[in-house]
Every structure is written in structure tokens, then in C-alpha cells.
Amino acid sequence: MANYRTAPAVTDRMPSGIPYIIGNDAAERFSFYGMKAILLVFMTKYLKGVNGEPAPMSAGAADFWIHFFVGVAFLTPLLGAIVSDVWLGKYRTIIVLSIVYCLGHLTLALDETRFGLALGLGLIALGVGGIKPCVSAHVGDQFGNRNGHLVSRAFGWFYVAINLGAFASSLATPLILKKVGPGWAFGVPGILMLIATVIFWMGRNHFVHIPPVGKERFIAEVLTRENRVFFRRMAVIYFIFIAMFWALFDQNASTWVEQAMKMDTRVFGHEFLPSQFQALNPFFILVMVPLFNFTLYPALNRLFRLTDLRKIAIGLFLAVPSFLIPAWIESRIAAGETPTIWWQVLAYAFQTASEVMVSVTALEFAYTQAGPRMKSLVMTFFLLSVWVGNWFAALVILLVKGEDSPLNLSSTGFFLFFAVTMFVLAVLFLPVTRHFRPRFILQADEEESGAATGVSPEEAEAEMH
């Protein structure tokens, strides 16, 4: 660690390590979303038993296990954050767990049985979950007071990189699965994860390496009265309101794929695979992030002060029609029709607009609210909200679609349940936007000896000009 920079450089420019982080995340997201895009089809059509005989799951079982896996993958960030902040630091934690991540992909590529599926997904959940809070916090660690106004831009490009990888893989891996089978369909994402690890290693001399604080100091800071109150307030925002957003959002890899299988998937005369429509979300992200940042947000700011929490509130309301539309589609399917996939395209547009305002904002918000020695830990609030949301979705799927389901709810009613629940929580979130007092904290400049600094967004904007 002695050979690495341990505090941000005194500059008003974009840190030199940012391109390596963004390149790493683009390749890593290709690997994760490419694997995730084909899970439902693999589980229901290609999965084998211990002796190599076909042993596919039912669609309902596959839905449940997909959400269970995603939940576990976003529960393990708690482990990664503690290891990073207490013992290894972010860089070494990312390198070690990236290797575990690669081994998970290798297992899926070589073993098409239920055992291989469980072991591979378990290793991937440990790897992806362990590195996610570190990578996100590592972006913010590169900035000091002089270039703190560029944090939003960096997180924006970080999110664009995520979705470039997701867009490419969501189109490619379903085709690879269909043409050459599961081995290469899981192997290609594994190769991309290996490339991601190498890119990150290449940036080691450009990064700011914030050293771990040690167990005693970490515990002492976590248990201060101010932080206990802060954690409770953040938990309400992330584990109730934002978690419900994820309960809806991540169904584009499960129930939405099932629905697309029953629709007319021709677009401009070309027939797409049902699982390929997941690529619509990252495609819309690439369009909407710059559109919102440079057009919509300035326009709304002229009407009222557009705080981070107000962005999240608007996004929660936008999630509601993204599930009203699938509910309507299901009613048409139940009536014996075969609706055009364009209706689901419209649902993806609402879903993505919601994601831009909720997810992009909540990611940056979690970083800027965290104290300087707990960045990875507080980033887990954002990631654990995905765990809570996915396990809630898995529970509902189990109750509604399980073999011994105690509830008799139609497919239309299933989607309406999530739409109504989201609307109620969006309304309840409105008072939070008025009473929560946010803060803005970055790593300090070198000239301030690594101390923490609190900077308001207004001060950062003034400094920029």
C-alpha cells in the first residue's frame, strides 16, 4: 500500500483512475447480465440431472430461484464492505473476489447439472456481491474537494458503462445459447469477467487506495450516536421504498421473459428471442441518462428545486405504469389474444425512466451520505435494497406460483399487486423528501491530510463555476 496514493490528488480534473474503473465495470456487467439473461431459459429447457438426463425446472420454480440468487448476490455486499473497510481495503478485496467470480462462471460453463448451477451461482453471488460496494465506493474515493463537482458526472458514466455491458450481453448470450449451447453461453461472460479483472489490475497505479481503518476504529465509528440515527434513517429509505422498486425492476429477467414467450415478438419484420428484450432496458438507459441530465433535470429545476430525494420520488411513481402495462397484457393473453411485444417495449420505457431517477440517484446518494471511513459499508444500503426487493418478489412468486400455492391470484392480479403496492409506497415516500436532511461528504484533498470534509451540492456547484 505504501507505493500507492492514499488521498485524492489536488486537481480540478477527472481522476486518471476513472477510465480503468469504468472499463472494468463495463466488462463485469457484460458477464453478470449476460449470465442472468439466459438463466430462465437455461433452467426451464437445458438443465440436466446428476446423470446427464434432462431435468428442467418449472417456470414458477425458475422465477423463484432467479430472484433468490439475485437476492443472495446483493446480500453478500455486507461481507465485502466489512472485509474492505476493516482489513483488505477496496482494491485488494475487488481483486480477490473477482477471481472467485471468474470461478463461478467457469463452473456454469463446465457443469450443466443442478449441482453445477448451484455451485456456479453461489460463487458468482459471493464474487459479485463482495466487489459491488467496493467498486461503487472506489469511484467516489478518487475525488477530493477540488474536483468533487465531477462526482455526479463520473457516476453517470459509471452507470452508462454498466448498461453498455448489459445491452451487449443481453442481445448476445441468448443467441449464443440457442446456436451453440450453455457451455459457450456461460463461458463468454466468464471470459469478459477475466478481462474486467485484468483491466482493474492495470489501473492500480492510477487509483487512490484508501487504507482500511481496522476493526476497533471501524466499530467505534459505526456505533456513534450520530451514525446509529443516520443508519436507521437510511434503512427506511433503502429497505422499504427503494427495495420495492427492485422487487418490480428485476422481474424483467423472470416474469417479463415468461410473458414475452406468449407474445408476438416480431419487430420490424424480424423475430427476436423472448429473453433478448431485456436489452431494451440498458438501451433506454444509454438514451435517457444524458437526456435527463442535460434536458429534463434542468427543466424541472426551473420549476422547483430538484433534490436527490425528489428525483427518487418521481421515479417511484414512474414504476407504477411499468407494471400496469404487463397487467393489461396478461388480461389480453387470458382472453386468447397474442399481443404485440411493442406493449412490453412501452413498459420497458417506463421502467427505465424510473430506474434513471431511482437507481442512478440512490447510488450516488448512498456514497455522498457516508462518512469517509465507511463508504463501502454505507454503499451496501443501496445494494442490500436489491436483496430485500428480490426476496420479497421471490416470496410473492412462491405464494402465488408455487406448486402448493395458498393464494389463487391470476397473472393479471399478480402484476396489479406490485403496481398498487408501488403506488402506495410512492405516496408514503413524499413526506420523506421534506423531512430528511441530506449531507454531502467526499474524501478530503491531500492538502487537508486525509480528513473528511462535508461539502454541500451548492458549494460544489459554486466551486465548479
pLDDT in tens, 195-216: 999 999 999 998 988 888 777 7
pLDDT of residue 452: 38
Residues 379 and 77: beta-carbon distance below 8 Å: yes
Q: Per-residue pLDDT for 376 more than 80?
A: no
pLDDT in tens, 309-322: 999 999 999 999 99
Q: Exposed e or buried b for every residue in 421-438, given b needs 16+ CB within 10 A?
A: bbbebbeebeebeeeeee
pLDDT of residue 459: 34
The verdict on residue 420 lying in a domain is yes
**Helix, strand, or coil here: 8?**
coil
Measure the CA dihedral 346/348/353/359, to 10°: 170
The amino acid at 47: L
Give percent of the chain above pLDDT 90.
Answer: 57
pTM of the model: 0.83
pLDDT band at residue 361, thresholds of 50, 70 and 90?
Answer: confident
Residues 71 and 394: their CA atoms lie apart, in Å, by 9
The verdict on residue 52 lying in a domain is yes
pLDDT band at residue 256, thresholds of 50, 70 and 90?
Answer: very high
The verdict on residue 277 lying in a domain is yes
The verdict on residue 9 lying in a domain is no
The verdict on residue 242 lying in a domain is yes
Q: Per-residue pLDDT for 134 more than 70?
A: yes
pLDDT band at residue 164, thresholds of 50, 70 and 90?
Answer: confident
User: How is residue 187 written as a grid cell?
Assistant: 463461458
Least reliable range by pLDDT among 77-86, 294-303, 323-332: 77-86
Give percent of the chain above pLDDT 70.
Answer: 90
For 296, residues 6+ apart whose C-beta sits below 8 A from its C-beta are none
Element (H, E) at 447: none
Give mean pLDDT, residues 214-233.
79
Which of 144, 117, 126, 152 lies closest to 35 in space, CA to CA?
117
CATH number for the domain spanning 426: value is 1.20.1250.20
pLDDT in tens, 273-290: 999 999 999 999 889 988
The verdict on residue 8 lying in a domain is no
The verdict on residue 5 lying in a domain is no
Mean pLDDT, the chain, as a whole number?
A: 87
pLDDT in tens, 413-457: 999 999 999 999 999 999 988 877 766 665 543 334 333 333 333
Give mean pLDDT, residues 119-127.
96
CB atoms within 10 A of CB 54: 9
pLDDT band at residue 349, thresholds of 50, 70 and 90?
Answer: very high
Question: DSSP letter at 42?
Answer: I
Give the range of the structural domain holding residue 89, as residue numbers without chain letter: 18-464
The verdict on residue 71 lying in a domain is yes
pLDDT: is 365 or 345 the higher one?
345
Domain count, the chain: 1
pLDDT of residue 463: 31
For 440, residues 6+ apart whose C-beta sits below 8 A from its C-beta are 368, 454, 455, 456, 457, 460
Give the bridge partners for 442, in sequence order.
453
